Amino acid sequence: MQEIDINWDILERLRNRFLETGTQAGVYWQSEEDLVHYHTTFAARIGWKWDNALELAAQAGFQPQVRKIFDWGCGSGIAALRLIAYYGADAFDEVQLWDHSTLACRFAQKTIAATYPSLKVEIAPAPVLSDSESRSDTLFLVSHALNELGYEAQQQLSNQIRKAAQVIFVEPGDHTSSRKVIAQREALRGDFQIAAPCTQCETCPMLAEENQRHWCHFFGKPPIEAFTEGFWARFAQTMEIDLRSLPYSFLALSKKQIQSSTASRLIGRPRQFKGYTRLLSCDSAGLRELELQKRDDKQLWKSLKKEQSTLYRWTEIDASSGRLKSGEAQ
């Protein structure tokens, strides 16, 4: 990353705009330069989240079942780029892009076509409310765009997505964004199997009154350059973003049957105390705060401490105390 190429004023303007999400509607990309700057910085960071989300989805059995990608709210195209990088260009034939910014669509088209010349990359026609087009051949991607939508636009998006074969959302890891992803989950779960992060397809337990304070989030792993390159240090300082922490929410859906799991999903990070760990577990038993004493299962305790996985199988939970006694990473 060459610091010399960066116009910090552009990045600060974009950052301020992202912080105002929800209060301001409309297109904010002013020039191709905006998208170049976004793509090498904010979007790169979003790409690290995609890498992690795709790993968790694959671990839960998610695989592309169709050869066409539709990147909705594509911005600079990072979601499609990371998906193709993960599965390989041979897995796909075509990428369709949609963003209410024409500048963004064109930038993403140019970038994806240059990176993957074997793929057909097209800008989709603007969606219409009465859209009756079948999307049963399409894997739909929504990345850090749902969080910019008001209630009505979120509903329109659900209706558009409903016709897809598969869907992946990757959104910021804050409470509000996670709740918007959960709303999509509830709107779409009648039509899809949930591959990840949920280990069951019933009503999301986060929606229970007593769980309102929680949100469904995970942490990506930034690459080494985020800690070693001077540019990223300056980016983190100027933008006031802690690059060590990469929280995100995600949801991977598939129309076809995916084997249902009896595993439990670890939400957020386990909290370490002297001799024990507290964690938030989500599975068919609902959302539970569990506590594991180090002495009860040292290996599990170590695995939780090292954040080796977010998918576990709890093999023993004491029914009277609710204490987790043993389990293993999946």
Q: How far is the CB of 225 from ligand SAM (least distance, A)?
A: 19
- Looking at the Cβ atoms of 101 and 184, the one nearer to ligand SAM is 101
Instruction: Build a one-symbol-per-residue string for 51-90: x at contacts with ligand SAM by CB under 6 A, - elsewhere.
Output: ----------------------xxxx-xx-----------
* CB of 186 vs ligand SAM, minimal distance in Å: 21
Give the C-alpha distances (Å, rounded to integers) separating 324 from 46, 91, 294. Answer: 34, 41, 10
Interior angle at CA 160, CA 154 and CA 165, nearest 5: 120
> What would the x/- binding string for ligand SAM be over residues 7 to 26, using CB under 6 A?
--------------------
Give the three-class secondary structure for 328.
strand
Stretch that binds ligand SAM, among 97-105, 129-137, 182-190, 213-221 (CB under 6 A): 97-105
Q: Say how far apart CA 283 and CA 330 lie, in whole Å.
A: 14
DSSP string of 74-135, one letter each residue: -TTSHHHHHHHHHH-GGG-SEEEEE-S-HHHHHHHHHHHHHH-TTSEEEEPPPP-TT----E
Q: Residue 313 is encoded by which pair of tokens?
A: 């199988």
Residue 46 binds to ligand SAM (criterion: CB under 6 A)? yes
Helix H segments across the chain?
8-19, 32-40, 42-59, 78-87, 102-115, 151-161, 175-188, 225-228, 230-239, 298-305
In whole angstroms, give the CA distance from residue 242 to residue 224: 14
* Angstrom distance (rounded) from CA 73 to CA 289: 36
Stretch that binds ligand SAM, among 94-102, 190-198, 285-293, 311-319 (CB under 6 A): 94-102
User: Whole-number minimum distance, CB 184 to ligand SAM, in Å?
Assistant: 15
Query: Least distance from C-beta 199 to ligand SAM, angstroms?
Result: 26
Number of residues interacting with ligand SAM: please give it, by CB under 6 A: 19
Q: Is 180 in the site for ligand SAM (CB under 6 A)?
A: no
C-alpha 184/C-alpha 171 separation (Å) is 12
Alpha carbons 171 and 158: distance in angstroms, whole number: 15
Least distance to ligand SAM from the beta carbon of 80, Å? 9
Instruction: Kindly state the tokens that stand for 290.
Output: 């569990």
Rule CB under 6 A: say whether 34 interacts with ligand SAM: no
Instruction: Name the residue number minimizing CB distance to ligand SAM.
Output: 75
Q: Segment 237-296, which members bind ligand SAM (CB under 6 A)?
A: none
In the stretch 130-149, what mask flags binding to ligand SAM with x, by CB under 6 A?
A: -------------xxx--xx
Binding site for ligand SAM (CB under 6 A): 27, 43, 46, 73-76, 78-79, 99-101, 104, 143-145, 148-149, 153
